[in-house]
Structure 1
């Protein structure tokens, strides 16, 4: 059920976590290679921290020339952040003292908590209690810390921090540390990160809080997320909604899309990994650009820093190799993207700059002038980038030509400085020479393969389309209700109860009656005409599997059908309580079957699944999903997204179906689910869909609610 005391999220102000004025390191040490020593070095020696640092260690008088304090209670002031690197048994006391003193944040690098054992889970729960009682916010535990590379400041024990300081406009929110550091180290490609949080077990602060903070930071243009599990789906959805409102794309990689990954992720962070299908649904609706790997996340984020897409961009390909030009253009086509048609003005400029044997249509092949006439190469590139029909220029570089590559990299930089569209190099050679380094230094980080380029540009364009179509007034219902977790004890409504509830909500459904005797069956069938008959039992869900369904029955056959259904049910499930046989009018012949289902995900709440019936769902898994509520435009989108959607619109002589009525039913089902907080699961299958004007009808419904 909904939380009685639930209120929509008020996100914490994390300004003093990322830009503190005072920091205390609990467990600071002079011992070389120790975690406490690395943490101190990163703040004192490798950061540009202008605030005050307080080492805390009862065994040392000073650390790195700074006076050392025996404990947090003895500090001369309440600090903005304590960085905790002591063993797990000593963590609680340090955080308790910091909370009582009025410190703002505790960054707990120590492991051995909920990810480890029962003792660790109890200690982590105690940390949460301290946070709630004193107001100190907890980052971690079991994490490598956080960094603000735009200052720079490293509240981390990582010995790599000093080598990874490349400021930039990308924010990164992860749970694990090693993979986050992997992405940060794309700085060698010229890709800069401004903020990185790696929040570990997230006993208090979560990825969602950092997404929200980065959405407010004017220096951050795009936010990357690496998520192993969700502590609070509603909080994440609310943060992503804020990022979209601020115009900050979120690029997400979710670990746990297979059973193997899900188990590993849950053991790593002790979070809920969730359903991969539901996670992808949430990402898509909230505008999170879902990617498949770390390098893809970085590539997509990098592209967003270059320019925000409109979704209508057409592509130009500019190369000095005919093979590279053709292969790049092929990848543009594979991605479903469109090459630009050059204007007459561009065609003239290209003809003036290039030799007559060059390829001047899109894709462009300049041939060897990149070596012999670098000025002509630069002029041709400028003509391409200035074309009114071009929204993005791809520049595949298949080989390293030493100093010539350096000169051409300079040309790309010079043209980009004057152009309004992004010029995106693709460095295809395994040899990274001076040209590669010059591109990285110039703020033109190259893609490393045409495959990665293809995926990144497709996702970039798709985000522009999502922004253009986004309903800014819609928000998922879970933001208002909060994540509800696993259901309480449940019960399944009888089909009669379920259909009556649907009908009361405006969902077209048959009006069944229940026969408890053969005589009842005859009377009801004679009044209805041709009928469908089904066993009624709370213990029998799949009625047709046990011979509990008869279709096309008339009054004359009703008594025999009743007897056969009851006998089949007794034989199949002897312990079942049989309440009788449900009788309802048969739908007209020739209808197409669809289904609508609702499942309450423990992380992200009610999610609808829609598809056509029969083999389309069973064999081809042809379904589409949405978080609730589903609006009428969303319902139409769901219908149109099916691979089998043509069957609804008159494919190859088939009659057009009543798509408008089907969309209405989808919305009505969503409305019913939203108005039924205790709804755990609903399966309306089949939904009879007639031809245009005939309407739709819910022929069967299984509805599960909390007791």
Structure 2
């Protein structure tokens, strides 16, 4: 048996235990935390395995016998719930391992999250567990629930109406995991698992994700993450999720600007960790959401109806105002609502009447009869570019609304949903309508999926549609060779001349440049170029030359060349000990200015950024980000995603740029930036014209050793 197979078997014993020990069990009289909570959750789950209670004095708990050690019981256990303080954890782990346990769930806080001393203790605990081939859930977590196999170790309250279903909840935060579980109970969303990982000294979210994806009852996984540990495992899990057609939905917290790390380049500030995280998750096919409610509802929708076929969403509504609201929400969320075809509109008018506006969203109006919804959904579901249908229809929020007419209407909706040729769901106008009474009435009518509120429903439909289309598209390389950062993230900027040498070796097209070390050499370079030139001081100590007056543009005669040379050299000497010379280049004009560069993210490694605006890119903030490696098709997709893409394709009679050449240039920049010793690089501006693409300025930040070699 190889290492991964052995770990999989261990994880199954940990997350589906049939024999559980409670270490540090005590009668606190509290049913919502600690020993009482664990026992209460096991009862509500219907756990029929063994429970062993252990505490230092062997004192009975709620009348149930306990022992001082597990060894005294002679029992073999799968999992131990450890309720002792952090400092006592190392003392109890050997007893747990001696009982054959595959792992332990640690409630204690005050470890890595509390400071250096706590981190040192946590590292020691993790080392003891690894030496014993044990997995740790937590510390600083609330444990886990396996609703499918009716087992778990849960240190908090257990919602009374929690349902078993197809959504697994995976959270680094115990409190957030608890909140998601309570929301699922209130919304009637069934869960297969709830697992909180806490500080993750051995088991991180990607490890558990791999396990969950292999559980046949789990159709989607909802993840709350504050940090991404083990990105290589996440990549592997994402690949497996694609094979299985299972959705991974993530709420990633903690966005911040990492631009200061590479502030020497514009791309360093553009590629903050949140932009990189967005790009990485999208490339992996993970659905990123922005709220806990959206996380839960999107995972629920994906588990129930996804993956969808190619196409957009057809909307059928009983409210004209609702049609407007969902149309507005669809535009905000990027949800495709295809126009209904002439055949579809004709069939709809024949059902409802010529007065109806047969568009998408479609208002059935008050003309709806007992079978109208069923007939309308049948028509809409036959249109080829409709992948799913959303039926906008409220359910009662109070008993007085549960009239026979409403019941007949909902039965018609349910019949239409069941007979639809594509997946169909019921959408309420507000979250209130998806309360317990509304769900009960909808379910009694035969409605399968009830989404709470127009905004949440539209966001969920948009995310699941995007994911479904991602699955249909040809698979691209998942982040692999370029994934993990290597070498130091600290480095020094190379001079523009040394930067040019690095980039030209990778095939990056750059404007002609001649390095002049004397005024006479500058004059000779100007004569060879044969026209107005730009003069730039060259020194590794100066990255942004224009700010200090080390750039002269448009020098076109001997006097201007000599004066310009003196100016830029003097400007460099005021801030740097050494001047490498003056770079002489022809003046270039016309075209569209872009910036293209690579920065190194601490989690995902080399990351490509392309934006419009050249030196003004941070003002325009029109940029696209991808984690390397990327192919030409993805580079083109990055360019097409820019708001200013019409400037590249041609607008208002202006010729478009050479897109093929631009893709090649950006791909070469990406290749240069993938080198292990490159901390960041940038070509700015990258001038794209109808007949050529050329970089006008370049900057590479590399490991210190590279700079020393370049200057040797």
TM-score interval, smaller chain = 0.7 to 0.9
Separation in structure 1 between the aligned mates of residue 384 and residue 690 of structure 2, nearest angstrom: 46
SS in 2 for 1:168: strand
TM-score, length-scaled by structure 1: 0.87
Structure 1 partner of 2:703: 705
Distance change in 2, residues 1:583/1:81 (3 Å): same
- Tell me what 1:176 maps to: 173
Does the 8 Å contact 1:234/1:483 carry over to 2? no
Of the three residues 183, 191, 194, the one matched with 1:193 is: 191
Label 1:191 to 1:399 Cα distance change in 2 as closer, same or farther (>3 A): closer
Secondary structure of 2:104's partner?
strand
Instruction: Give the corresponding residue for 2:285.
Output: 287
Match of 1:304 among 288, 302, 305: 302
Task: Verify the 8 A CA contact 2:372 2:412 in the aligned structure 1.
Answer: no
Aligned to 2:163: 166
CA distance in 2, matches of 1:517, 1:285: 50
For each residue in 1:245-295, what CA deviation from the matched residue of structure 2 results, as whole angstroms up to 9, or x when unmatched? 3221111111123589xxxxxxxxxxxx98211111111111111111111
Which of 131, 143, 146 is 1:148 aligned to?
Answer: 146
1:402-481 correspondence runs (5 A): 402-403=402-403, 404-428=405-429, 430=432, 432=435, 434-439=437-442, 444-479=448-483
The equivalent residue for 1:493 is 494
Q: Which residue does 1:137 correspond to in 2?
A: 135
Correspondence for 2:683: 684
Mapping for residues 521-536 of structure 1, pairs under 5 Å? 521-530=522-531, 531-536=533-538
Mapped to 2, the partners of 1:283 and 1:177 lie a distance apart of: 23
- Residue 325 of structure 1 deviates from its aligned partner by 4.0
Instruction: Name the counterpart of 1:205.
Output: 203
Which stretch of structure 1 is more off in the superposition, 20-29 or 603-612?
20-29
Q: Structure 2: give runs of 5+ residues left out of the alignment.
A: 259-270, 706-712
Deviates more, 1:356-365 or 1:194-203: 356-365
Asked whether the 8 Å contact 1:342–1:362 carries over to 2, the reply is no
Q: How does 1:6-155 map to 2 (within 5 A)?
A: 12-13=8-9, 14-33=11-30, 35-42=33-40, 44-63=42-61, 67-99=65-97, 102-155=100-153
Task: Give distance in 2, aligned partners of 1:348 and 1:520.
Answer: 80
Q: Structure 1 residue 433: deviation in Å?
A: 7.2
Query: How far apart in 1 are the matches of 2:286 and 2:5?
Result: 19
Partner deviation per Cα, 1:529-572 (whole Å, 9 max, x = no partner): 4433221222211111101012333572433222111222334x
2:164 and 2:191 in contact (8 A); partners too: yes
What is the distance in 2 between the residues matched to 1:360 and 1:555? 71
Q: Which residue of 2 aligns with 1:625?
A: 625
CA displacement 1:67-109 (0-9 Å, x = unmatched): 4221244452442211111111211212243346542111111
What corresponds to 2:213 in structure 1? 215
Helix, strand or coil at the partner of 2:469 = helix
Residues 117/448 of structure 1: CA separation in 2 closer, same or farther (3 Å cut): same
Structure 2 residue aligned with 1:231, among 229, 232, 235? 229
Q: Provide the rounded CA distance (Å) in 1 between the counterparts of 2:607 and 2:380.
A: 46
Q: Deviations over 1:390-432 (max 9, x none)?
A: 4322222246332343443344334433334222222225465
Deviation at 1:176, TM superposition (A): 1.1
What is the rounded CA distance, in whole Å, between the counterparts of 1:144 and 1:48 in structure 2? 19
How far residue 149 of structure 1 moved from its aligned partner, in angstroms, is 1.5
- Aligned partners of 2:313 and 2:338 also within 8 Å: yes
Q: CA deviation at 1:209?
A: 1.2
TM-score, scaled to structure 2: 0.87
The alpha carbon displacement at 1:156 in A equals 0.7
Q: Render the CA deviation track for 1:178-199: whole Å, top value 9, x for unaligned.
A: 2222222323322111112111
2:546 counterpart (532, 544, 547) = 544
SS in 2 for 1:135: coil
CA distance in 2, matches of 1:367, 1:521: 79
Deviation at 1:598, TM superposition (A): 0.9
Is residue 512–residue 586 contact of structure 2 (8 Å, CA) maintained in 1? Answer: no
8 Å CA contact 1:428, 1:448 repeated in 2: yes
- Please name the residue that 2:263 is paired with: none
Q: CA deviation at 1:322?
A: 3.7
8 Å contact 1:11–1:209 — kept in the other structure?
A: no
Supply the distance in 2 between the matched residues of 1:48 and 1:689 (Cα, whole angstroms).
66
After superposition, the Cα gap between the structure-2 partners of 1:653 and 1:358, relative to the gap in structure 1 and judged at 3 Å, is: closer
* Structure 2 residue 340 is matched with structure 1 residue 341: yes
The CA distance in 2 between the partners of 1:454 and 1:78, in whole Å, is 50
Change (3 A) 1:409 1:30: farther
Q: Does structure 1 conserve the Cα–Cα contact (< 8 Å) formed by 2:485 and 2:600?
A: no
1:190–1:444: 8 Å Cα contact kept in structure 2?
no
Q: Bigger CA drift: 506-515 or 223-232? A: 506-515
Q: Cα deviation per residue 1:208-245 (whole Å; 9 max; x = unaligned)?
A: 11222222111111111111122333333333233223
Residue of structure 1 equivalent to 2:568: 565
SS at match of 2:541: coil
- The aligned residue for residue 654 of structure 1 is 654
Alignment partners' CA distance in 1, 2:512 and 2:71: 72
Q: 1:309 to 1:47 in 2, by over 3 A?
A: closer
Change (3 A) 1:26 1:254: same
Does the 8 Å CA contact 1:98/1:136 hold for their aligned counterparts? no
Structure 1 residue ranges without an equivalent (≥5): 1-6, 261-272
1:233 and 1:363 map into 2 onto residues whose CA distance is 41
Aligned residue number for residue 3 of structure 1: none
- SS of residue in 1 equivalent to 2:164: coil
1:414–1:151 CA distance, 2 compared to 1 (3 A): farther
| Alpha-carbon contact 2:600-2:679 (below 8 Å) kept | yes
Query: What is the alpha-carbon distance in structure 1 between the residues aligned to residue 638 and residue 36 of structure 2?
Result: 53
Flag the 1:637–1:9 CA change in 2: closer, same or farther, 3 A: farther
Q: What is residue 396 of structure 1 aligned with on the other side?
A: 392
